[in-house]
Amino acid sequence: MVRIEIQVDLNYDVSAPGADFIFNIHAARTARQSVSNESLLLSQAIDSTVHADPATGNRYLRLRALPGPLSVSYRATVDLNHDVADPTSLAEVPVRELPQIGRAHV
């Protein structure tokens, strides 16, 4: 297992009348990756939601910011359990056969 610490700090100056944001900063939760600790701090007193894409495990933070400064601070401790395979057992996959990338559901 490998443990990593993630820190993301973003700062914006939001113009009137405000703005909608979708961030992809949260660590994904997958079969090989778990989040043992995380925190999210927003400088504005606003509602936010986090949506997980069921196909990929990617998580998206959605919010509507008010005019003025906005700071978004995310921190997490992530545990990775790598899948180790014999390289000779792995087949090359052509780009055209790769699965579609997940998308946020709005």
Q: Which residue, among 10, 7, 14, 2, has the nearest Cα to 66 in the 3D structure? A: 14
Global pTM?
0.76
**Residues 7-42: pLDDT tens digits?**
999 999 999 999 999 999 999 999 899 999 999 999
> What domains are defined for the chain?
2-82 (2.60.40.2250)
**Residues 66-97: pLDDT tens digits?**
999 999 999 999 999 988 888 899 889 899 99
Helix (DSSP H) and strand (DSSP E) numbers for the chain: 0, 6
Q: Does residue 87 have a cis bond before it (omega within 30 degrees)? A: no
Cα separation of the two ends of the chain: 34
Q: Which residue, among 72, 82, 100, 85, has the nearest Cα to 34 in the 3D structure? A: 82
For residue 46, how many C-alpha atoms fall within 13 Å in the half-sphere facing its CB?
A: 22
